[in-house]
Amino acid sequence: MITEQASAKINLFLHVGDKRADGFHPLQSLAVFTAMGDVLSMEPGFGLSLTIEGPFAKGLDGEGDNLVLRAARALDTQGAKLTLTKNLPVASGIGGGSADAAAALRGLNQLWNLDRNEAVLRDLAAGLGSDIPACVLSASCFMEGRGEVLRAAQSMPRVPMLLVNPGVAVPTKDVFAALGERSGVEMALPRGNFADTADLLRFLETTRNDLEEPARRIQPVIGDVLQAIARLPGALMTRMSGSGATCFGIFADDDCCRRAAESLKTRYPGWWIAPTFVPEMGIVHEAAGQDIGPTPEGL
Ligand code: C5P
């Protein structure tokens, strides 16, 4: 049996440009991946089957054509028995479905002995959804294009992070459709050599999430989440991820982050509150600083 972690994808910033002819928006983002995530296990089987369990399994009830199955079929026609433990809230701006699909591509590539290299997997991923190539990499990276043009960050400190979702699903499509003012995508991206959290925060202060404002108009409770996190002791920065509604706080240290989670849980028992961290990424990472993609034409 092969088990793959499907880490949550957090957009530390997200700048959006004008809608392209193909209906997608060009974007610039810094995506990072947390220790917290879904888990996908894969074993040999006849036909393709998917069992979903875990705290958010119900959010996917009746979803016959799960992205995991589409990813599996895009990769090959072989059979497998897949079990997804759904720890991440659904449609919540942290790439849960995308990470699951990416985990299927990585894991089934091994289980089926296909030996496709990572570039091939990312190309397949781009055909399935904008965030999935970054989730195949699952390491801190800058995203451009509609999300498929990637450059791995050079180094990233360990970042204690609190994830908070108020229990409302916000469809990505609706948030993009409600988008008004936007930053554009002409910013010169840094090399991504962040020595420590202070260094990272200095860069992030020059950025924003363009989808925060339209998402807050659709679900005003997002404003309450941002305010609640910002008031917690040790919170250094608060922002919404992706198209929401999940927001994140970057904390001074793990203890602050854990205590913040406890105090928020007592006040908002209905919210999903997850203290986690982004693992340190050193210069030794095989993808560090490299240009990855763009993917070949036609995807
Ligand atoms: O690619 P994905 O299926 O994740 O996109 C969901 C929706 O989000 C798209 O149909 C599109 O409306 C919007 N989107 C966009 N520009 C992007 C990514 C997504 O407009 N770069």
From 153, 179, 195, the end of a domain falls on 153
φ, ψ (nearest 5 deg) of residue 11: -85, 110
- Per-residue confidence (pLDDT) for residue 277, from 0 to 100: 97
Q: 122 and 8: one domain?
A: yes
Q: Which residues line ligand 1 (CB under 6 A)?
A: 24-25, 27, 129-131, 146-147, 172-173, 176
Helix axes 67-75, 96-111, angle to 10 degrees: 30
In a domain, residue 286? The reply is: no
Domain count, the chain: 2
DSSP state of 60: G
* Site to substitute for ligand 1 among 11, 130, 146, 150, most atoms within 8 A of C-beta: 130
Instruction: Please report, for residues 11, 62, 238, 248, the alpha-carbon distance to residue 15 in angstroms, rounded to integers and kept in the order given.
Output: 10, 34, 16, 17
Reduced to 3 states (helix: H, G, I; strand: E, B; else coil), residue 172 is: helix
Is 196 one of the annotated active-site residues of the chain? Answer: no
Is 291 one of the annotated active-site residues of the chain? Answer: no
- Per-residue confidence (pLDDT) for residue 293, from 0 to 100: 54
- Per-residue confidence (pLDDT) for residue 64, from 0 to 100: 60
Q: Are 135 and 97 in contact (CB under 8 A)?
A: no
**Closest residue by Cα to residue 143 from 32, 224, 285, 49:** 32
Please give the distance, rounded to the nearest whole angstrom, from the Cα atom of residue 125 to the centre of ligand 1.
14
- Per-residue confidence (pLDDT) for residue 58, from 0 to 100: 85
Q: 84 and 171: one domain?
A: no
Please calculate the CA angle 180-33-61 and round it to the nearest 5 degrees: 75
In a domain, residue 22? The reply is: yes
Q: 116 and 235: one domain?
A: no
- Per-residue confidence (pLDDT) for residue 142, from 0 to 100: 97
Q: Which residues contact 272 (CB under 8 A, 6 or more apart)?
A: 89, 163, 164, 165, 167, 246
The active-site residue, picked from 38, 100, 123, 131, is: 131
pTM here is 0.94
DSSP state letters, 83-134: EEE--SPSSSSS-HHHHHHHHHHHHHHHHTT----HHHHHHHHHTT-TTHHH
| pLDDT tens for the chain, residues 1 to 299 | 999 999 999 999 999 999 999 999 999 999 999 999 999 999 999 999 999 999 999 877 656 678 999 999 999 999 999 999 999 998 899 999 999 999 999 999 999 999 999 999 999 999 999 999 999 999 999 999 999 999 999 999 999 999 999 999 899 999 999 999 999 999 999 989 999 999 999 999 999 999 999 999 999 999 999 999 999 999 999 999 999 999 999 999 999 999 999 999 999 999 999 999 999 986 544 555 566 655 433 33
Q: 106 and 9: one domain?
A: yes
Q: 173 and 104: one domain?
A: no
In a domain, residue 199? The reply is: yes
Q: 166 and 141: one domain?
A: no
In a domain, residue 62? The reply is: yes
From 153, 185, 205, the end of a domain falls on 153
Q: Which residues contact 73 (CB under 8 A, 6 or more apart)?
A: 48
CATH number for the domain that contains residue 41: 3.30.230.10
Q: 120 and 211: one domain?
A: no
Please give the distance, rounded to the nearest whole angstrom, from the Cα atom of residue 28 to the centre of ligand 1.
14
Q: 240 and 129: one domain?
A: no
Q: 163 and 192: one domain?
A: yes
Q: Which domain holds residue 45?
A: 2-153
In a domain, residue 201? The reply is: yes
In a domain, residue 294? The reply is: no
Q: 148 and 244: one domain?
A: no
Q: 189 and 220: one domain?
A: yes
- Per-residue confidence (pLDDT) for residue 198, from 0 to 100: 96
* Site to substitute for ligand 1 among 172, 182, 185, 241, most atoms within 8 A of C-beta: 172
In a domain, residue 207? The reply is: yes
Q: 145 and 185: one domain?
A: no
Cα separation of 226 and 241, whole Å? Answer: 11
Residue 245: cis peptide before it, omega within 30 degrees of 0? yes
CATH number for the domain that contains residue 238: 3.30.70.890
In a domain, residue 187? The reply is: yes
From 153, 174, 189, the end of a domain falls on 153
